[in-house]
Amino acid sequence: MHIITEAKPGARHQILPLLIFSCGLITGITQADTAIPAGWRLSMDNDVIAPNNNDRDYTGGISFIYSSASPATGLSRPPRISLDAAIGFIEQTLDRPGETPRRTFYATEAGMSVFTPEDTQRHAAVYDDRPYASLLFLSSSRQTLSANGRQAITQTFTIGALGLVVSADVQNALHRQFGIATAKGWDYQISADGEPTLRYSRSRQTLHWAHKSTHGMDYDLSSTFKGNLGYLTDLGWGISGRLGRINSPWWSHNPLLEEYAERGTAHATHGASRRQFYLWGGLFVRARVYNALLQGQFRDNAVDYSHAQLNPLIATAWLGLDYVLAGNIRLSYSWHGQTSEIRHGRGNRFMNWGTFSIARNF
């Protein structure tokens, strides 16, 4: 979704440096055995804060995530609005008895992801390109830290709706607000008029290296093995790391959990005597079996793709900065890039977008 008009071509070049400059602050997260307060995080994805400004592919998203408090002793509880019962049922059904987790953290998230083809001005289906698609979702996450403190397992259960007209209404309302031409082909989106969907995700993050310096040049490096089952079905592995002034546990930050607007977990932050300012990044490679946002589900669609028309291997990379203001307010900016999901045609192109987020604990 564009939010800069053509009448102001220099504006996007001014906004990006300002956002990057303002996004470096993060106060410390406490270590695994101290109390962690409740908190929230608001994230906005858009191409206007990416190096280019193409209104296509994953064109925008928004999410709000709330994480419940985790006391130093005793049991933490899911938020009042939560799908954690579904995670508990899946865990009891699939898991073998194992070690007792050291800590457990809970979060609930709601948001929207929006996708469009490159040509949004046609009042007709756009063939040979990515179809219009949208997802409104509600998800819950459960993150458990192992007894040795070197592994974190995150489970996420998501329910959502594909193809709702509200997605088109939101995008076009923003376009009208900023003088941008509205998208004309939303009648031809995947699962037009709405269709329910769901996803279950499970990941295992392992810490490999970590170093704490008295000079503010800390680092950590971890790997993540992750699987999705549902409207996205795939299996992948990746690495992520941080470098800079870090005063938060390694498991509190993992970009590899993200699926477009869905973040998977909220950052657990807490006041600390030492501010944080660090660079972070990640690389994730997955073998994808199914993507309902391109292939559809049960309904017939004006434009969709078969599995044979999609690339089975997809790579995604992230690069970002985190910083914290007074009062446990954290700002973050990140760039995301992804290899093409479509094998041939106009839809065969690299995607990239920017994310700006603000988070606070209380």
Show me where the domains of the chain are located: 11-361
Residue 15 dihedral angles phi and psi, to the nearest 5°? -70, -45
Which among 16-30, 208-222, 295-309 has the top mean pLDDT? 295-309
Q: What is the pLDDT of residue 316?
A: 97
Amino acid identity of residue 347, one-letter, is G
Residue 323 dihedral angles phi and psi, to the nearest 5°? -155, 155
> Would you give the distance in Å from CA 332 to the centre of its chain?
13
Sequence-distant (6+) residues with CB within 8 A of 109 are 63, 64, 65, 66, 137, 138, 139, 140, 141, 262, 263, 264, 266
Sequence-distant (6+) residues with CB within 8 A of 145 are 32, 101, 102, 103, 104, 105, 151, 152, 251
| Mean per-residue pLDDT over the chain, rounded | 85
Cα 136 to Cα 61, 63, 133, 168, 171: the distances in Å are 10, 10, 11, 12, 13
Q: What is the pLDDT of residue 222?
A: 97
The H-or-E segment that residue 58 falls in is: strand 57-67
**What is the CATH topology of the domain spanning 11-361?**
Lipocalin (2.40.128)
Amino acid identity of residue 195, one-letter, is E
Q: What is the pLDDT of residue 3?
A: 40
- Of residues 9 and 88, the one with the higher pLDDT is 88
Q: What is the pLDDT of residue 70?
A: 79
Our CA angle for 157, 221, 25, nearest 5°, is 80
pLDDT value at 12 more than 50: no
What pTM was estimated for this model as a whole? Answer: 0.87
pLDDT value at 130 more than 80: yes
**Interatomic CA distance for residues 342 and 336, integer angstroms:** 18
Is 108 within 8 Å of 120 (Cβ atoms)?
no
By three-state DSSP, how is residue 83 classified? Answer: coil
pLDDT value at 288 more than 50: yes
pLDDT value at 286 more than 50: yes
- Of residues 360 and 297, the one with the higher pLDDT is 297
Q: What is the pLDDT of residue 231?
A: 98
**Interatomic CA distance for residues 258 and 337, integer angstroms:** 13
Q: What is the pLDDT of residue 97?
A: 58
Q: What is the pLDDT of residue 94?
A: 80
Q: What is the pLDDT of residue 273?
A: 46
Q: Work out whether strand 313-325 and strand 151-162 pair parallel, antiparallel, or are unpaired.
A: unpaired
**Interatomic CA distance for residues 67 and 56, integer angstroms:** 32
Q: What is the pLDDT of residue 270?
A: 55
Q: What is the pLDDT of residue 49?
A: 80
The H-or-E segment that residue 157 falls in is: strand 151-162
pLDDT value at 172 more than 50: yes
Cα 175 to Cα 1, 97, 180, 240: the distances in Å are 7, 52, 5, 35
> Would you give the distance in Å from CA 179 to the centre of its chain?
28
**Residue pLDDT, tens place only, 35-94:** 778 889 999 998 778 777 677 889 889 999 999 887 766 578 899 999 999 999 998 888
Which among 122-131, 215-224, 308-317 has the top mean pLDDT? 308-317
**Interatomic CA distance for residues 128 and 130, integer angstroms:** 7
Q: What percent of the chain has pLDDT over 70?
A: 85
**Residue pLDDT, tens place only, 254-282:** 899 999 999 987 665 554 545 789 999 99
Cα dihedral sign, 324-49-334-105? positive
Closest Cα partner for 322 from 334, 314, 311?
334
The H-or-E segment that residue 324 falls in is: strand 313-325
- Of residues 326 and 7, the one with the higher pLDDT is 326
The residues that bridge with 210 in the sheet, in sequence order, are 220
Q: What is the pLDDT of residue 265?
A: 77
- Of residues 109 and 5, the one with the higher pLDDT is 109
Q: What is the pLDDT of residue 5?
A: 39
Q: Tell me what the mean pLDDT of segment 188-214 comes to.
A: 95
Q: What is the pLDDT of residue 335?
A: 94
